[in-house]
Amino acid sequence: MNKIYKLKFDKRRNELVIVSEITAGAGKERSTGHIADLTALSPFRKLLGTLTPVALLTGLIAGLLPAMALAADLPTGGQIVGGQGSISTSGNQMTIHQQTQNMATNWHSFDIGKNNTVQFVQPNSSSVALNRVTGASGSQIMGTLKANGQVFILNPNGVLFGKNARVDVGGLVA
């Protein structure tokens, strides 16, 4: 047990409390850490005290903006790395034609924006399309995802389905 300590009177508790031996100002009014009057502060400290909350709020908003951004229109950077198939885009619709029972695709991002559709055309209802997302952001599904088989979306940063998203697939793992 540490036998080197000081006792300090705590006004809030109205009792003596044990403090470290290196604590300055045991019991002295001026060392309680409370500022009685803002006029005691220098103009620079006043400005700093005013700007700090504004700077924190600005930083918080700037940090949240990318997360609050709407989903991209359609998935990007698709490369089929297992099985056979093709990826085509026309306007606001992307169609992935799967030619083998199982297919794996690496994507930079797998987002479906509002009023956009991604459709998997698979050989049968037991077909599996594995979609691995390698980008740094989570997937946002705000539009329509269709498939006659099973769709797996693997994103280590998460998958978010919007309240108006429509999912019409044989099976989904996200």
pLDDT of residue 42: 62
- Average pLDDT in the chain: 81
Alpha carbon separation from 69 to 17, 59, 74, 113, 172 (Å, rounded):
51, 16, 14, 11, 25
Contact status, residue 148 vs residue 123, Cβ threshold 8 Å: no
pLDDT digits (tens, 9 = 90+) for 100-137: 999 999 999 999 999 999 999 999 999 999 999 999 89
- pLDDT above 60 (res 69): no
Helix (H) / strand (E) element for 58: namely helix 43-68
Residue 172 pLDDT class (50, 70, 90 cuts): very high
Whether 45 shows a pLDDT value over 50: the answer reads yes
> Among 50-64, 71-85, 136-150, where is mean pLDDT lowest?
50-64
Hey, what are 103's tokens? 């297919």
Residue 4's pLDDT is 73
Structural domain spans, the chain: 1-32, 79-173
pLDDT for 171 equals 92
